Amino acid sequence: MPKSEPSILLRVRGELSRVGDPRKAAGQQAYMKSVMPYYGIQSALLGATCKKLFADLAFPTRAAWNAMVLSLWRGAKFREERYASIALTGHKLAKPFQTPASMPLYEEIIVTGAWWDYVDDVASHRVGPILRDYPVQMNKKMLAWSKSPNMWKRRTSIICQLGFKKQTDLNLLYACIEPSLDSKEFFLRKAIGWALRQYAWTDPTEVKRYVRQNRARLSPLSIREALKNV
């Protein structure tokens, strides 16, 4: 039987509270520099718990799925509740909803989450696949995001192709990197290096060429990350 949005939040909260380990919570919160507290749940246990919690869910419409995801995201009091919200976006029954029409949902998570643990998961596992399936619409959006005043949207545009390997659109990648080449933001410099390092597994010669050509503008951090495995 489908669960209403309020009930899924309460059910998730109750189960996460039950399996959490307060002895681990403070360390997790400190590591993530999070204002929001933790229950103290390791990622493997969290994944298994979410899988069990979401096993009998049904989403008759995109709107129902969207509302359920946002009820968890917006109502969260602990960080793992937001991780559960992101896990719900990847539910197998939500596969038909992974289209550009869901980008406002992912944009809200990215902008309001505003930290790497949320953003990187959504960028690579949600935005990336939509880009792969809908390149025309999504190329335009990623190019727009690459120039956004919001750093996390910029980071998303840079790292959304992390798993693309030979399917990487290099023109898009370089175009999304370009507006942030001169940025002093750590998370943008790191993203640039990370994206280049991932592509270096596919074509190290091309990454070395790009680094050589742009060495004067790339930060030492970006260069070091890009060439780490070359």
pLDDT in tens, 5-36: 458 999 999 999 999 999 999 999 999 999 99
Please state the rounded mean pLDDT for residues 35-41: 98
How confident is the model over 90-106, as a mean pLDDT? 97
Over residues 110-132, the mean pLDDT reads 98
Instruction: Give 124's pLDDT tier (boundaries 50, 70, 90).
Output: very high
pLDDT at 108 over 50: yes
DSSP for 82-110, written as a single string: HHHHHHHHT-GGGGGG-SGGGHHHHHHHH
- Average pLDDT for residues 197-226, to the nearest whole number? 98
Task: Note the pLDDT of residue 6.
Answer: 53
User: pLDDT at residue 71 above 90?
Assistant: yes
User: Residue 22 has which token pair?
Assistant: 């307060």
- Tell whether the model's pLDDT for residue 160 goes beyond 50: yes
Q: Would the pLDDT of 96 be above 70?
A: yes
Q: Please check whether residue 177 is in contact with residue 194, taking contact to mean a CB–CB distance below 8 angstroms.
A: no
Tokens for 174? 């370089």
Q: How far apart are CA 114 and CA 95, in angstroms?
A: 25
Domains of the chain listed by start with CATH number: 1-97 (1.25.10.90)
pLDDT value, residue 7: 86
Mean pLDDT, range 81-104, rounded to an integer: 98
Considering the chain, what is the average pLDDT of its residues?
A: 96
Q: Give me the pLDDT at residue 213, please.
A: 98
pLDDT higher than 50, residue 1: no
* pLDDT at residue number 100: 98
| pLDDT on residue 186 | 98
With CA atoms as reference, report the closest residue to 226 among 173, 166, 152, 175: 173
Backbone angles phi, psi at 78, to 5 degrees: -125, 150
Residue 2 binned pLDDT confidence (cut-offs 50, 70, 90): very low
